[in-house]
Amino acid sequence: MDLSVVDMAVNRVGVEHSRVALLGISFGGYFVLRATAVDDRVAAVVANSPVVDLRAYLTSFFRFDPEQMLTADEDFSIVGIDTIPDEEMPPTQKEMARSLIPPLRTAELKAMSAIPHAAMPLEATWGATGGVVAGAKPLSVLGAGRADAEATVHSSVARTAAAPAHRTPHPGLARAETSQSPPVPPRRPLWSDRRPTHRQAGHRGPPQISRRTRMDLLSAPARHRDPSCRVLLSSPTRGWQFALHVMPGGRHSYATALVNPLIAGMFVMS
């Protein structure tokens, strides 16, 4: 990999290496948290409305989790979408299906079950930590996270006093590492609560998405801004723990990350 361009750019603009901040929006919140967990040169991180449950996020496009809601017999492929009448699956929903089915386009929708719930292989737990880790040393607190605060300010992240990598990892992490199939973190009731009802023989597909439902989809990720929404992350390489407290309010809307069909060909979980 060619690092010279960035090295040159960063040096030329007179950056202090101790003053590098990472900011990620939406799925980018996941990107930067993960990078921060393994790179202690990052002095500050802002996870703006981060995605913390990858599969819940993706299935939210579809309103239900195909793994739970579709039997193998009911599953459909990218080719089968074209046989479903528009009355049963609106064109916009078909477009989403085309986008969400993996890029080889031979797999069917249930292939999404390969996508993990946790956004990271690091241990992620909803609502179980009670907030910032006790005694945590702030990594950086960029603003108060008020709705009327500056545009870059939505979240605060604290990191424990830098523990060397050889220290005992977080118990949850150790549990995950010793198991072939890590326990799925408890999650709130999501989009899988609704059973598809408009399904006809020979035209297998998800329920019709009404305008109202689409609005529900648009507002659903507001849970990420719920003040009770907290995530604990442990870094296996650094022995760090993160307590992420997603602040309420903020100007970023998840609507910008939704309904775009540009997912096709891009998503392969290895």
Partner 1 sequence: MEDGADYGGASVGEGLWAAAKIRDLGVESWPDVFAALGDHQQQEGEQRAASGHTRSAHDLYLMASNSYRAAEYFAPIEDHRHIQLELRSRDAFRAAMQLSDWSFEPLEIVVDDQRLSGYCLAPHQPRDGRVLLAVSGFDGTLEETHLQVGVAGLQRGWRVVLISGHGPMDTLRLNPQTHFVPDTERWICPWSTWP
Site for partner 1 in 78-97 (CB under 8 A): 95
Smallest distance, Å, CB 146 to partner 1? 15
Quick check: 104 binds partner 1 (CB under 8 A)?
no
Contacts with partner 1 in 143-202 (CB under 8 A)?
A: 150-152
Count CB-CB contacts under 10 A for residue 37. Answer: 22
Per rule CB under 8 A, is residue 269 in the interface with partner 1? Answer: yes
CA distance 139 to 35: 14
Question: Residue 187 class from Cβ within 10 Å (0-12 exposed, 13-18 middle, 19+ buried)?
Answer: middle
Q: Identify the H or E element spanning 212.
A: helix 211-219
Q: Minimal distance in Å, beta carbon 190 to partner 1?
A: 17
Nearer to partner 1, 25 or 70 (CB): 25
Q: Which is nearer to partner 1, 249 or 267 (CB)?
A: 267
Q: Which is nearer to partner 1, 1 or 134 (CB)?
A: 1
- Residue 51 CB, shortest distance to partner 1, in Å, is 7
CB of 78 to partner 1, least distance (A): 12
Q: How many residues form the binding site for partner 1 (CB under 8 A)? A: 65
Alpha carbon distance 151, 154 (integer Å): 8
Number of Cβ within a 10 Å radius of residue 169 = 23
Min CB(159)–partner 1 separation in Å: 16
Per the listing, tokens 């929708």 go with 109
Is the CB of 70 or the CB of 139 nearer to partner 1? 139
Phi, psi of 59 (to 5 degrees): -70, -15
- What are the strands, taking DSSP E only, across 80-127? 125-126
Q: Tell me which H or E stretch contains 128.
A: none
d(CA 41, CA 18): 7
Between 70 and 217, name the residue whose CB sits nearer to partner 1.
217
Q: How far is the CB of 225 from partner 1 (least distance, A)?
A: 15
Among 35, 144, 147, 184, binds partner 1 (CB under 8 A): 35
Residues with Cβ < 8 Å from 21, sequence gap 6 or more?
42, 43, 44, 45, 46, 140, 142
Enumerate the H helices of 52-186 as residue ranges: 54-60, 66-69, 91-100, 171-178
CB of 43 to partner 1, least distance (A): 9
CA-closest candidate to residue 231, choices 136, 92, 119, 65: 119
* Site track for partner 1 across 39-68, x = CB under 8 A: x-xx-----x--x-----------------
Binding site for partner 1 (CB under 8 A): 1-3, 5-7, 9-11, 13-32, 34-35, 37-39, 41-42, 48, 51, 95, 98-99, 103, 116, 120-121, 150-152, 251-253, 256-257, 259-270
